[in-house]
């Protein structure tokens, strides 16, 4: 079970998510994102997290040296690649990678990327690169996820996460816009309900 809340910009949101069971938090280092956070601010939040919480850095077509600099400054432990990065690029990083793909890319990605790769299956919007709020076709996602470690994203909310988990049977789930009042500002009640319902659904399946 992998429960991730992405687009964290405030310490209070981070601690609230962890308190309610999030095992991973996402920090978006792509400047064009409305959920962008500076490495300096992210470092302050990450320093306050329990050691067993994964801090995930989200990057879009960043240079290897650029990612290394952010890792050194912030202490993130997992790299989420949301651009056009290749397996060869990921090999140069030297950190665990969460690779964002679409349902349509799943078959090709499974061949191109190493077997240990965890894929984040998200909806398509090249201009926004995640956090779109658009819901996937879960039956297509279930077929694409079969036999692979997939974290399901794309339009998840407290009201649909249990159904999504039951249909797709993913390795984990990732939420951003579905628990927000505004980009980067999480709604405490939605976060708590999402994580509670997701955990319950995983326990059943």
Q: Which residue in 86, 89, 136 sits closest to 111, CA to CA?
A: 86
Which tens digit of pLDDT belongs to each residue from 102-122?
Answer: 998 888 898 899 888 999 998
DSSP per-residue string spanning 76-95: --EEEE-SS--HHHHHHH-S
Number of domains in the chain: 1
CATH code at position 33: 3.20.20.70
- Pairing type for strands 24-28 and 172-175 reads unpaired
Phi then psi dihedrals of residue 57, to 5 deg: -95, 125
Catalytic annotation, pick one of 65, 84, 122, 125: 122
Active site residue 189: no
Using an 8 Å Cβ cutoff, are 78 and 43 in contact?
no
Band (pLDDT 50/70/90 cuts) for residue 125 is low
Which tens digit of pLDDT belongs to each residue from 24-49?
Answer: 999 999 999 999 999 999 999 999 99
Q: Provide Rg for the chain, Cα atoms.
A: 15
pLDDT of residue 133: 58
In whole angstroms, give the CA distance from residue 113 to residue 80.
Answer: 14
Contacts of 65 (CB under 8 A, 6+ apart): none
Paired residues of 185 in beta bridges: 182
Catalytic annotation, pick one of 6, 52, 125, 181: 6
Q: Which domain holds residue 190?
A: 2-204
CB < 8 Å & 24+ apart, contacts of 93-97: 93/64, 93/67, 93/68, 95/71
- The pTM for the full model equals 0.93
Using an 8 Å Cβ cutoff, are 13 and 186 in contact?
yes
In whole angstroms, give the CA distance from residue 141 to residue 180.
Answer: 24
Asked whether residue 134 carries a pLDDT value surpassing 80, the answer given is: no
Active site residue 122: yes
Band (pLDDT 50/70/90 cuts) for residue 128 is very low
**Burial profile 105-138: b = 16 or more Cβ within 10 angstroms, e = fewer:** bbeebbeebeeebbbbbbbeeeebbbbbeeebeb
């Amino acid at each position: 079970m992998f429960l991730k809340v992405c687009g964290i910009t405030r310490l209070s949101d981070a601690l609230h998510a962890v308190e309610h069971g999030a095992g991973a938090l996402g920090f978006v280092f792509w400047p064009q994102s409305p959920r962008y956070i500076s490495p300096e601010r992210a470092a302050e939040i990450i320093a306050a997290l329990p050691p067993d919480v994964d801090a995930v850095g989200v990057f879009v077509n960043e240079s290897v040296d650029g990612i290394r600099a952010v890792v050194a400054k912030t202490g993130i432990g997992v790299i989420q690649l949301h651009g056009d990065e290749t397996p060869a690029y990921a090999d140069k990083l030297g950190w665990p990678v969460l690779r964002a793909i679409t349902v349509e890319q799943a078959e090709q990605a499974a061949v191109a990327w190493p077997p240990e790769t965890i894929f984040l299956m998200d909806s398509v919007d090249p201009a926004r690169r995640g956090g779109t709020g658009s819901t996937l076709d879960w039956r297509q996602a279930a077929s694409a996820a079969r036999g692979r470690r997939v974290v399901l994203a794309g339009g998840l909310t407290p009201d649909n996460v249990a159904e999504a988990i039951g249909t797709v049977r993913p390795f984990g789930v990732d939420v951003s816009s579905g628990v927000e009042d505004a980009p980067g500002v999480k709604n405490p009640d939605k976060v708590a309900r999402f994580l509670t319902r997701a955990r319950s659904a995983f326990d059943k399946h």
